[in-house]
Amino acid sequence: MRTHQGLFAGIFGRGGVDTGDEAWLQALLDTEAALARALERAGLAEPGAGATVTAAAQAEAFDAAGLGRQAALTGNPVPALVRELTRMVPPDAAGAVHKGATSQDIIDTAAMLLARQALSAIAADLSAAASAAAVLAATHRDTLMIGRTLLQQAVPVTFGLVAAGWLTSLDDGREAVARVRAGRLAVQFGGAAGTLASLGGDGQRVAGLLADELGLARPVLPWHTDRLRVLDVAGAAAGVAAMLGKAARDITLLAQSEVAEVREGDGAGTGSRSTGSQGGARGGSSAMPHKRNPVGAIALLGCTRQVPGLLATLAAAAEQEHQRAAGAWHAEWEPFSDLLRLTGSAASWGAELLAGLEVDPARMRQNLDDARGLPLAEHVASLLGPALGPIAAHDLVAQASALAAGTGQQLRDSLLGTPEIRQRLDEAGIAPEQVESALDPAGYLGSAGDFVDAALAAHAAVHARLAPDRW
């Protein structure tokens, strides 16, 4: 399924989310067909009218571009669509087309149908991405690497903990998507001003039957100018995009030539292979053969960086006047579609990116060792604290660290090879073996392993709750 055709579709329109013109058109037609069936069930349309309208309501029989041009006359494409659909059915079924509805009812309900399909596709790719992150977390539970804060080296962590961080955020995103899909997608049916006046006393019953036909929730009342449902969908998608973007950003940083702790797989077999101008593995460069560009992470970030602006537009449009907005409702259609499409594309990239990620534990250890023990200064200070007092311990380790940084030697050598510092250690009863132990990064990981285990256990529970066959 391709949601977005054109030059940039391979980056911004991959995955299973479809919010293109044909998908929109079919969702509009599905809504009109469901309304005809609901009216027939309510006894307000001729027997067989629902089936007749449903048979005619096929997107391939309509000219989407032509309907779009006619939309300029009425402010939306539904009136033109209704005229075409009415002409396509016999007179005895024509009365079931659009009866009791207003254009916003059809477009908003269609948007909910598109959101349902989109959230399902996003959830499937998120599940795959989370499963891949879980494999990385389990495999590298104890793989040492340097932690980085404010883009500077900090204290040791494990790559398993990094992957577990991705995992928990992806699972949180999956649960948010599931909540919105299960509880916030509702039919819209209020007629001209939210009263269903044209249906007399049958309005509520038809609304319930319409919701039943489409498998959407029936709201307490029409939500023409209450746009929280739209924002809930958009917010869940934007949260997912942010979490996918965080993982992709980490990967771009860890894949830098000077770091080289991870690299992407080649993306083979995905149907979205991107090569250098002379061919070869994805991410290669014919002009700079030493490069291995993280194309998947870059493309993912290209998707997610657009999402906040789209969410902001939808939030700004949510303030709508009286019973029908003058422009704000119209402002939702394209940003809503684009936000779902881009989030879906990002999720598709994320599933591939994490499944194919190549990790280099040896390089991680090398980068950690190249820090010459300085990231363990905090651990050494905690060792000396009971004997010297916290301030004196801090000052002594700071002196040794400054010496190591200035001379390029190991912190161990500054502590044990500098006479005045060694004398202070001896006087405090600190043996060289204790210093050596304090400088072992594997001994200063705190609860890292336990955190990974907890993330994996939580993931197993989320996966059981959100099994695809329960959607």
| Residues known to be catalytic | 285, 324
Closest CA to 250 of 338, 170, 311: 170
Pairing of strands 262-263, 152-158: unpaired
Give the Cβ contact number of residue 366 at 10 Å: 12
For 119-248, strand residue ranges (E) read 144-149, 152-158
Give the Cβ contact number of residue 82 at 10 Å: 17
Contacts 24+ apart (CB under 8 A), 371-375: 371/146, 371/153, 372/404, 372/408, 372/409, 372/410, 372/411, 373/404, 373/410, 373/411, 373/412, 373/439, 374/153, 374/401, 374/404, 374/405, 374/411, 375/146, 375/147, 375/153, 375/154, 375/155, 375/156, 375/441
Determine the Cα–Cα distance for residues 178 and 465; give it in Å rounded to an integer. 10
Determine the Cα–Cα distance for residues 438 and 397; give it in Å rounded to an integer. 12
Determine the Cα–Cα distance for residues 292 and 144; give it in Å rounded to an integer. 24
Determine the Cα–Cα distance for residues 392 and 394; give it in Å rounded to an integer. 5
In this structure, what token pair is assigned to residue 163? 């992957």
Cα distances (angstroms) measured from residue 78 to each of 84, 180, 213, 262, 333: 10, 26, 20, 51, 13
Q: Which residues pair with 186 in a beta bridge?
A: 217
In this structure, what token pair is assigned to residue 124? 């499937």
For 165-205, strand residue ranges (E) read none
In this structure, what token pair is assigned to residue 199? 């249906």
Determine the Cα–Cα distance for residues 374 and 380; give it in Å rounded to an integer. 10
Q: Which residues pair with 358 in a beta bridge?
A: 263
- The answer to whether 317 and 218 have CB atoms below 8 angstroms apart is no
For 114-187, strand residue ranges (E) read 144-149, 152-158
